[in-house]
Structure 1
Amino acid sequence: MACHGQQLHSQRLIRCDTMIDSSTQDSPMAKLGIASKDTRHQVRVAVTQAEPRWLDLQGSIDKTCALIVEAAKGGAELLAFPECWITGYPAWIWARPVDTDLASRYIKNSMRADGPEMARIQQCAADNDMTVVLGFSENFHNTLYISQAIIDSDGKLLALRRKIKATHMERTIFGDASGDALTSVVDTRVGRVGALSCWEHIQPLLKYYLYSHREQIHVAAWPPLHPYKDEKELWSMSREGARALSQTYAIESQAFVLHATSIISEQGISLMNTERGAVMSTPGGGSSAIFGPDGRILTEDIPQCEEGILYATLDLDEILRCKSFVDVCGHYSRPDMLWLGVDREVKKHVQ
Structure 2
Amino acid sequence: MPCFFLLAGLFALMAACQAPESPSTPSTVRVALCQTEVDPDPEVNFPRIEQALAEARKQGAELAVFPETCLFGWVNPLAHQHADPIPGPTTDRLASLARKYQMMLAVGLAERSGNKLFDSAVLLDSDGSLLLHHRKVNILTHLMDPPYAPGSGASQSVAETRFGRIGMLICADTFQEDLVGDMAANQPDLLLVPYGWAAPEQDWPQHGQNLHAWVSHTAKAVQAPVVGVDSTGTLRFGPWTGYPLGGQSVVCDAAGRKLGVLADRKPEVRVFSIDL
Name the CA distance, whole Å, in 2 between partners of 1:273 and 1:216. Answer: 36
1:189 is the counterpart of 2:171: no
Name the CA distance, whole Å, in 1 between partners of 2:194 and 2:120. Answer: 10
1:126 is the counterpart of 2:99: yes
The 1:273–1:131 alpha-carbon spacing in structure 2 relative to 1, beyond 3 Å, is: closer
> Are the aligned partners of 2:248 and 2:265 in contact in 1 as well (CA < 8 Å)?
no
Query: Deviation of residue 218 (structure 1)?
Result: 0.8
Query: What is the 5 A alignment of 1:55-134?
Result: 56-90=41-75, 103=77, 105-134=78-107
- Residue number in structure 2 paired with 1:175: 149
SS in 2 for 1:309: strand
Query: What is the 5 A alignment of 1:1-351?
Result: 41-54=27-40, 56-90=41-75, 103=77, 105-170=78-143, 172=145, 173-178=147-152, 182-226=155-199, 238-264=207-233, 268=234, 272=236, 277=239, 279=240, 281-283=242-244, 285-302=246-263, 304-316=264-276
SS in 2 for 1:144: strand
Query: Deviation of residue 198 (structure 1)?
Result: 1.2
Name the CA distance, whole Å, in 1 between partners of 2:211 and 2:167. Answer: 18
Aligned identity (percent) is 27
Query: Deviation of residue 142 (structure 1)?
Result: 4.3
CA deviations over 1:297-347 (Å, ceiling 9, x no partner): 111431x2211112111222xxxxxxxxxxxxxxxxxxxxxxxxxxxxxxx
Unaligned 5+ runs, structure 1 = 1-38, 91-101, 317-351
The 1:196–1:212 alpha-carbon spacing in structure 2 relative to 1, beyond 3 Å, is: same
> Are the aligned partners of 1:262 and 1:286 in contact in 2 as well (CA < 8 Å)?
yes
| More strand by percentage | 2
Letter in 2 for 1:47: L
Query: Deviation of residue 189 (structure 1)?
Result: 2.2
SS in 2 for 1:215: coil
Letter in 2 for 1:60: N
Name the CA distance, whole Å, in 2 between partners of 1:125 and 1:281. Answer: 33
Q: TM-score with structure 2 length normalisation?
A: 0.81
Name the CA distance, whole Å, in 2 between partners of 1:79 and 1:301. Answer: 14
Name the CA distance, whole Å, in 2 between partners of 1:255 and 1:136. Answer: 24
User: RCO higher in 1 or 2 (8 Å CA, sep ≥ 6)?
Assistant: 1
> Are the aligned partners of 2:36 and 2:52 in contact in 1 as well (CA < 8 Å)?
no
- Residue number in structure 2 paired with 1:27: none
CA deviations over 1:50-91 (Å, ceiling 9, x no partner): 21131x22333332233223212211111111111121112x
RMSD, aligned α-carbons:
2.5
SS in 2 for 1:298: strand
The 1:112–1:273 alpha-carbon spacing in structure 2 relative to 1, beyond 3 Å, is: closer
Query: Deviation of residue 249 (structure 1)?
Result: 0.7
The 1:62–1:301 alpha-carbon spacing in structure 2 relative to 1, beyond 3 Å, is: closer
CA deviations over 1:139-183 (Å, ceiling 9, x no partner): 11342100010111221101111112422424632112236x642
- What is the number of equivalent residue pairs in this alignment? 249
> Are the aligned partners of 2:138 and 2:172 in contact in 1 as well (CA < 8 Å)?
no
Unaligned 5+ runs, structure 2 = 1-24
